[in-house]
Structure 1
Amino acid sequence: MRKLKTFSILLLSLFWILYLNAQEEEDPYLWLEEILGQRALEWVKIQNQESTSKLEAVPVFKSIYEKTLEILNSPARIPYVSIYGNYLYNFWRDSEHPRGIWRRTTFEEYKKKEPKWEVILDIDRLAKDENENWVWRGAQLLYPDYNRALIMLSRGGADASVVREFDISTKSFVKDGFQLPEAKSRVSWIDINSLFVGTDFGPGSLTTSGYPRIVKIWKRGTPLNEAKTIYEGKTTSVSAAGYRLFSEEGNIDFIVESPTFFTNIYHILKDGELIKLDIPADAEIESYFKGNFLIRLKSDWNSGNKTYKQGSLIAGKMEDILSGKKDFKVVFEPTSFSSIQEISRTKNYLLVNILDNVVSRLYRFSMDAKGNWVKKEIILGDKGTISISSTDEKRDDFFLNYENFLTPSALYLVNGKTLKIEKIKSMPEFFDPSSYKVLQYKALSKDGTSVPYFVVMGKNTKFNGENPTLLYGYGGFEIALRPSYLSTVGVAWLENGGVYAVANIRGGGEFGPKWHQAALKKNRHKAFEDFIAVAEDMIKRKITSPQKLGIMGGSNGGLLVGSVSMMRPDLFKAVVCQVPLLDMKRYSKLLAGASWIDEYGDPDDPDMWEYIKTYSPYHNVKKDVKYPKIFFTTSTRDDRVHPGHARKMTAKMKDMGHEVYYYENTEGGHAGAANNQQRAYITALSYSFLYWQLIKE
């Protein structure tokens, strides 16, 4: 029997070796996927040295770095807050606190020009005391007193975090309190003595995307392995989680399984029983307000005798939904050019932030005596972006932020009842806006779709095709690119003579779910065609030319710029490709990649792969084609998009003889940087590269 077992082990080992060899033959750069492999890290070190030595030598590097760091560390930045009871909490980084401090103040203090802050937790001191590379990932406070918190801390900025219970009154971690080791955990307070918890409980407890699939209730003073299982999701789902929605109207316990990135199965845990909510899988429960669930629809819903339009916000009584009744009232129905961006609530009002032709419009909704929804617009600025900064369901006052490309962010306190608006804070101008103008154009994509884009340029810019221009895009996951203040872009690019453009292409959320869904899976090329159309339109208008045009994108935007630079290398001179997806054959096997199959499709499906391989940058690069110069950036600690994407693409292109540049930060997670110094450094590298290629060759 022992001999048979030994033979079986040898046979399995031989099979595994043969499998790896076959994989290496198919992809000779597979070894670069070993994130902390010695050979891979040595390669990273060499690439970093080669690229940074050239980019740091660009004349503008030092000034861009210093100006960017000054902006990021500026004491004049707005300290945005979250409202918890009688306190406003803020997390703050500056030159004195590069890792940051968690602090709080009162409403009255916050209104002052220089409020007094009470420091709750100093991450720099904690990291030094514990000899850990801690990066703040957030805190979850316990309703209604907010004296306890679950603190999330990441090593080096990764998504995976440790969770530790913290006593705010004593400003110390709770001895023998709730603690979880490093994982992509999902935790939520139930009460002072219990949590909903989903974490890495051991083999079989995670989904193929690397997130928890099991939800348990964990009682204080008991070991984690004794926590009671209340729900198990499928291994193929993205994740499952439990959370308590705290409310003065009554607490509600949700158990939510996400089969895909864009679908959810909602259950309510009531008296120990799980009750599944009969709503569309792609609908999202946004809020609970005066006994109503507020539901946002991603597709048309035929319910009862009514059809509720895609993108609408509808309201239904909780007891009706639980009993199976399908009687909903429409709160907001979008037009062809509008979409919901944010939903929040105060004590007596519902706030709905709308994007109308890529410009914000904010409405306050109230419910009259007959249960009808009444709206009133809150006017704030013109052709910019309004964001709901912070609300509290115990009061009607709330904070709003306003900004546009040339107007620095300003924070306003709004009286929810009277809608009186008071400016509380504002960020200073980091460059002179009077020298620039913002234009909005539309490009015609290949299939005839009109695609809007913004251009920021000097007022005296000549339309002669000679302007160095940077085009930025994303186009995925229903994320809208809205006008935001160009603080670092202003000093790093505009002041150096550049033109800046933002493309609102399909795949994003600028015009709601339909705009996003138009570029899913086998329609992915629509996003690329839109981006190319915008580039061609700028060239046609003589804003720029192929020899003066650079492009930039990160994450899904990295896939965008990587793909179009392979498709149309003649159209661009320089590419900045940040924390990108590039190997679309293996993306679903790397880190969180499996969770994005609903966006891109499954490359293990032969039919889908036949389509995906037409745009996968890693599979379309050729030796005998002249490509624009490309600068790839990534992070060793990115546990969302695998650094192997950028590593392998760089290695492959270099071996083919193409001129590419590479920088991998050893910290930073998917954000690419763990502190302001790192952010400033990567910004300086990127814009120095663009300056070198497009302005001063």
Structure 2
Amino acid sequence: SDRALVRLSPDGGDAAVVREYDLAAARFVDDSPFSLDAHKHRVAWIDSDRLLVATALHGGGVTDSGYPITARVWHRGTALDDAPPILSGAASDVGVFVHVDHTDGHATPLIVVAHDFFSSETWAWRDGTATLLAVPQDAVVDVHGDLAAVRTTTPWQVAGQTHAAGTLLVGPVTTLTEGDGSDLRVAFTPTAGTVLDTWTWTRRRLILTVLDDVQSRIVSLDPAGDDRLEIDLGLGSDDLFSASIATLDADIDDELWIVARGFLTPATLIVTDAVTPAPRVVARGRAAFDTTGLVARQHWAVSADGTRVPYFEVGPRERSGILPVLMSGYGGFEHALTPEYPAIVGPAWLEKGRVFVVANIRGGGEFGPAWHLAALRENRHRAYEDFAAVARDLVTRGVTTPDRVACHGRSNGGLLVGNMLTLYPDDFGAIVCGVPLLDMRRYTRLSAGASWIAEYGDPDDPDDWRFVQTFSPYHLIEPGRAYPASLIYAAASDDRVGPAQARKMAARLHAETDAEVHYLEPVEGGHAGTIDSAATASLHATIHAFLDATVAKDS
């Protein structure tokens, strides 16, 4: 097509304007264009004159979480207000989201009604009729032409066989639209240390990105048979790596564009064929810092309940004495932290002979769905115990001392480091807390907070509040207690978490304790916290000036 839908955020927030752009003419369309004002829309082309739209505007409605509650088909030249809903959710749902698969030139509109962050119904819309796909509500489903892929989150029994959590099943989409999934076959089965991260389709192959003890490897398989092969990217063993995959045109060929990166290796573009692999490097990112004398290794800590928790450590190969450490973590929403090139931390921290650590704590997806489910709701404390265990392991190993350890987390990671501040203040010398959740009593009433009840619990339910209050940093502040120095930052335009929780936390720490507290809040930036490269540079310069003045002042 020579038309594109362009999303433009006025201030960096999630709400965006949608405008139709003419690629051939290199200008926005002014003759009967598709156009939407700023909101949290989801839109997708059905064909050149029809869009599948989920928006709260023009009579669409909104859920308690602030996302669209209906899906509609919008015909060019007509008023969206006149388009009736083809599927609707409930106010208590997270929202209604849309996608259209165009494999082989055939449009298959898909509508997802997300009941919570992990449970949803997926409907295929054809010929004016919506058909529910026969998969568990907690499964992840993907349609590609005549095929479908289903990744289980919890065990699923189908056709007399039970498939473990984290299994990938592939088969004809009709087995989900007209049957019960009986014609699906197993494409991947997880093990204790090897799990599925993502998958990508090409014309003839299904490409799996697998995490093996939290490092990527690529597997190419025939979705209709048993043929499979591993694609060796030829990156060597001098670094720890992750990889992401894109295809130029999955309808036409089997060419893969793979971006690999490591803690010491800038993004490297590798092109290969998925059927007959012959990887070749076609581009490398510019090195942002000098890696001479640095090494990246994986270590394991033991958490409070005996669980082994891995972490990546990057620092001097030959270590001398106690060093400042900057820790990073997330531990939520099944998001895995894999090796990434530290383009900012490298020059600002590692080049100075310091140590950078990424903790793969429970709540994330580093070891599949079970690793995530282990730290949900009443078990949230496990994520925080894991992170504290990594900090203490660094001390035990002689890398550092508690007063030289800093941690930086954003969003759910901001909640993580907020709990380090309030629950483990003696294990850290400084805390950097970005765009965070911190007031867990009121988080469901702020911005998109209601959408995360499945992750944390519902504070308006007395039974849930009994455990939620145990990891609500704002409520865990003890007047007069000694806390490490903190830098808290947010953005006024953040429409996902919002700045209110960060403001309250900084204010209470300032008013009720003697702790050193710094607060930063630009207007623009949304949940990213910064609006452009200059603002990002300014934020991280501030963060590292703070770290230099606290945990690294003598280094």
Q: TM range, normalised to the smaller chain?
A: over 0.9
Matches of residues 317-466 of structure 1 in structure 2 within 5 Å? Answer: 317-325=172-180, 326-367=182-223, 371-380=224-233, 381=235, 382=237, 383-393=240-250, 394-462=252-320, 464=321, 466=322
Displacement after TM superposition at 1:422 (Å) = 1.6
Comparing 271-280 with 248-257, greater Cα deviation is found at: 248-257
| Alignment match of 1:283 (pick from 139, 153, 157) | 139
Q: Is the 8 A contact 1:287 1:345 kept in 2?
A: no
Q: Is the 8 A contact 2:202 2:247 kept in 1?
A: no
Query: Residue 208 of structure 1 aligns with which residue?
Result: 64
Displacement after TM superposition at 1:455 (Å) = 0.8
- Point out which structure has higher relative CO (alpha carbons under 8 A, 6+ apart): 1
Displacement after TM superposition at 1:680 (Å) = 0.4
Larger radius of gyration: 1
Residue 578 (str. 1) matches residue 434 (str. 2): yes
Query: Residue 170 of structure 2 aligns with which residue?
Result: 315
Matches of residues 145-544 of structure 1 in structure 2 within 5 Å? Answer: 146-175=1-30, 176-201=32-57, 205-248=61-104, 250-288=106-144, 291-325=146-180, 326-367=182-223, 371-380=224-233, 381=235, 382=237, 383-393=240-250, 394-462=252-320, 464=321, 466-544=322-400
Q: Which amino acid aligns with 2:517?
A: V
CA distance in 2, matches of 1:320, 1:232: 24
Query: Residue 608 of structure 1 aligns with which residue?
Result: 464
Q: Is the 8 A contact 1:187 1:197 kept in 2?
A: yes
What whole-Å deviation, never above 9, does each CA across 1:558-605 have from its counterpart, x for those lacking one? 000001210111111100001110000010110010111111011100
Higher helix residue share: 1
Query: Residue 590 of structure 1 aligns with which residue?
Result: 446
> Cα distance 1:310–1:391, how it changes in 2: closer, same or farther (>3 A)?
farther
Displacement after TM superposition at 1:437 (Å) = 1.0
Q: Is the 8 A contact 2:295 2:316 kept in 1?
A: yes
Displacement after TM superposition at 1:327 (Å) = 2.6
Q: Is the 8 A contact 1:342 1:388 kept in 2?
A: no
Q: Is the 8 A contact 2:291 2:351 kept in 1?
A: no
> Cα distance 1:395–1:204, how it changes in 2: closer, same or farther (>3 A)?
closer
Q: Which amino acid aligns with 1:471?
A: M
> Cα distance 1:391–1:521, how it changes in 2: closer, same or farther (>3 A)?
farther
| Alignment match of 1:693 (pick from 540, 550, 554) | 550
Q: Which amino acid aligns with 1:160?
A: A
Tell me the SS of whatever aligns to 1:265. strand
Tell me the SS of whatever aligns to 1:398. strand
What whole-Å deviation, never above 9, does each CA across 1:313-352 have from its counterpart, x for those lacking one? 1012222222224232000111111221121111111111
CA distance in 1, matches of 2:217, 2:70: 40
CA distance in 2, matches of 1:195, 1:204: 14
Query: Residue 36 of structure 1 aligns with which residue?
Result: none
Tell me the SS of whatever aligns to 1:614. helix
Q: Which amino acid aligns with 1:588?
A: T
Query: Residue 97 of structure 1 aligns with which residue?
Result: none
Q: Which amino acid aligns with 2:253?
A: R
Query: Residue 672 of structure 1 aligns with which residue?
Result: 529
Q: Is the 8 A contact 2:290 2:347 kept in 1?
A: no
TM-score normalised per structure 1 = 0.77
> Cα distance 1:567–1:461, how it changes in 2: closer, same or farther (>3 A)?
same
CA distance in 1, matches of 2:285, 2:245: 17
Q: Is the 8 A contact 1:403 1:485 kept in 2?
A: yes
CA distance in 2, matches of 1:226, 1:203: 9
Tell me the SS of whatever aligns to 1:155. coil
| Alignment match of 1:554 (pick from 406, 410, 422) | 410
Q: Which amino acid aligns with 1:421?
A: P
Displacement after TM superposition at 1:270 (Å) = 2.2
Tell me the SS of whatever aligns to 2:471. coil
Query: Residue 85 of structure 1 aligns with which residue?
Result: none
Tell me the SS of whatever aligns to 1:244. strand
CA distance in 2, matches of 1:563, 1:512: 24
What is the aligned residue count?
546
Displacement after TM superposition at 1:529 (Å) = 0.4
What whole-Å deviation, never above 9, does each CA across 1:395-451 have from its counterpart, x for those lacking one? 211200111101111101112232111211101222221211112111110111000
CA distance in 2, matches of 1:430, 1:269: 48
What whole-Å deviation, never above 9, does each CA across 1:623-646 have from its counterpart, x for those lacking one? 121000000011111111110011
What whole-Å deviation, never above 9, does each CA across 1:164-205 have from its counterpart, x for those lacking one? 111111111111301111100111111111111111236781
Q: Is the 8 A contact 1:218 1:228 kept in 2?
A: no
Give unmatched runs, 5+ long, in structure 1: 1-145
Give unmatched runs, 5+ long, in structure 2: none
Matches of residues 3-22 of structure 1 in structure 2 within 5 Å? Answer: none
Displacement after TM superposition at 1:614 (Å) = 1.2
CA distance in 1, matches of 2:215, 2:245: 14
CA distance in 2, matches of 1:610, 1:201: 38
Q: Which amino acid aligns with 2:177?
A: L
Query: Residue 640 of structure 1 aligns with which residue?
Result: 496
What whole-Å deviation, never above 9, does each CA across 1:292-330 have from its counterpart, x for those lacking one? 211111111011210111101101222222222423200
Q: Is the 8 A contact 2:58 2:80 kept in 1?
A: no
Comparing 252-261 with 675-684, greater Cα deviation is found at: 252-261
Q: Which amino acid aligns with 1:197?
A: V
CA distance in 2, matches of 1:286, 1:341: 14
Query: Residue 118 of structure 1 aligns with which residue?
Result: none
Q: Give aligned-pair identity as a percent.
A: 40
Query: Residue 506 of structure 2 aligns with which residue?
Result: 650
CA distance in 1, matches of 2:311, 2:143: 32
Q: Is the 8 A contact 2:247 2:255 kept in 1?
A: no
Q: Is the 8 A contact 1:585 1:609 kept in 2?
A: yes
- Runs of 4+ in structure 1 off by over 6 angstroms are none
Query: Residue 661 of structure 1 aligns with which residue?
Result: 518
Displacement after TM superposition at 1:506 (Å) = 0.1
Aligned Cα RMSD in Å? 1.4
Displacement after TM superposition at 1:161 (Å) = 0.4
Q: Which amino acid aligns with 2:269?
A: L
Displacement after TM superposition at 1:391 (Å) = 4.1
Q: Which amino acid aligns with 1:685?
A: T
Q: Is the 8 A contact 2:60 2:70 kept in 1?
A: no
Q: Which amino acid aligns with 1:309?
A: A
Q: Is the 8 A contact 2:259 2:268 kept in 1?
A: yes
TM-score normalised per structure 2 = 0.96
> Cα distance 1:237–1:338, how it changes in 2: closer, same or farther (>3 A)?
same
